[in-house]
Amino acid sequence: MQADDARLVARLRAGDQVAFATVVRQWSPAMLRAARFHVRTHASAEEVVQEAWLAVVRGLDGFEGRAQLRTWVFRILVNVARRRGRAESRVNAELREPTVDPGRFRDDDDPYPGHWRAEAAPVSWGPEPVLLAAEVRAVLEKGLAELPERQRAVVELRDVHGFDHEEVCELLDLTPANQRVLLHRGRAKLRGVLEGVLG
Amino acid sequence: MTPRDIACIELVELLTDYLEGALPPDEVAAVEAHLETCAKCRTYLAQMKATIEALGAVTVETLPDEAYDTLLTAFQDRFR
């Protein structure tokens, strides 16, 4: 460890807030830029930087000084950013698919492109008690069990167990936007399942 | 300002953000303007809500009974 670096690490380990605030202010802009390379949105990059600093705070005692402090901090940052980037691209792949069969909507050369085709439009399911019938519930339970794991986790926690969106984001390590994408896809699929028996 | 026109195919993908209160005000206006004139999308929205409602009543998998027994025993032993 170089002398400056060793002094800085010692100050940080001793809980010197000025030293910490200084490095956070100095290094965060570059960290933000590097994070942004891996993730889709600026907000997501900010979260990554924050998460990386928290990991630094937690790991400070384990820093062995084999690399420069800055190198070590950025290595943590990149790990967090890559992990987040991979999670986002998984969600994005899921996001691209429409949740309703595009064949149910009018073609682009129709006077009302993208509107429901009369014969394929959703039909009312009738009075609510129908939904509580045992057979309908069984179909819904089966549909839930067949959802992709990530969608199933979000839908079950939100709609079956009644957790709020913040709790779910925290539990599943999701950004609010990704949580909504998974919720939307899961719910839309289950609507389709119910439509199969009720529509 | 008149809200922008959205087609049904787009509307169905905005509904969760709409229900979650995650849309910006101009998009909320666009969604609501569409719903006002489109009975089919109103039906679709009602079905989404009904699905959410019905999910509140389903039974989902939990720990096997043996696991409960093990846990209860461990808890009782702790205070023996």
pLDDT recorded at residue A134: 87
Write phi, then psi, for A105 (nearest 5 degrees): -110, 155
Q: Which domains, and CATH codes, for chain A? A: 3-95 (1.10.1740.10), 123-198 (1.10.10.10)
Confidence of residue A1 (pLDDT cuts 50, 70, 90): low
Scored b (16 or more CB within 10 A) or e, A92-105 reads eebbeeebbeeebb
pLDDT in tens, B6-23: 999 999 999 999 999 999
**Taking 80 as the threshold, does the pLDDT of residue B54 lie above it?**
yes
Rounded to two decimals, what is the model's pTM? 0.67
**H runs (alpha helix) in A60-173:** 69-96, 134-146, 149-155, 165-172
Sign of the torsion angle spanned by Cα atoms A115, A120, A122, A126: positive
pLDDT recorded at residue A154: 95
CA distance B65 to chain A (A): 20
Q: Which domains, and CATH codes, for chain B? A: 8-78 (1.10.10)
Interval A69-95 mean pLDDT:
84
Of A98, A140, A159, the CB nearest to B13: A98
**Percentage of residues of chain A with pLDDT beyond 70:** 96
pLDDT recorded at residue A179: 93
Question: Which neighbouring-strand residues pair with A105?
Answer: A116
**Taking 80 as the threshold, does the pLDDT of residue A68 lie above it?**
yes
**Taking 80 as the threshold, does the pLDDT of residue B49 lie above it?**
yes
pLDDT recorded at residue A94: 66
Q: In 3D, which of B30, B20, B14 has the Cα closest to residue B52?
A: B20
Work out the mean pLDDT of chain A and round it to a whole number: 89
Of A99, A123, A144, the CB nearest to B12: A99
pLDDT recorded at residue A34: 85
> Long-range contact list for A156-164, CB < 8 A, 24+ apart?
A156/B60, A158/A183, A159/A187, A159/B52, A159/B55, A159/B56, A160/B55, A160/B56, A160/B58, A160/B60, A162/B56
pLDDT recorded at residue A130: 76
Q: In 3D, which of A75, A69, A54, A61 has the Cα closest to residue A23?
A: A69
Interface predicted TM-score (ipTM) of this complex, two decimals: 0.91
**Taking 70 as the threshold, does the pLDDT of residue A95 lie above it?**
no
Interval A149-163 mean pLDDT:
92
CB pairs under 8 A between A and B: 100
A159 contacts B17? CB cut-off 8 A: no
Confidence of residue A131 (pLDDT cuts 50, 70, 90): confident
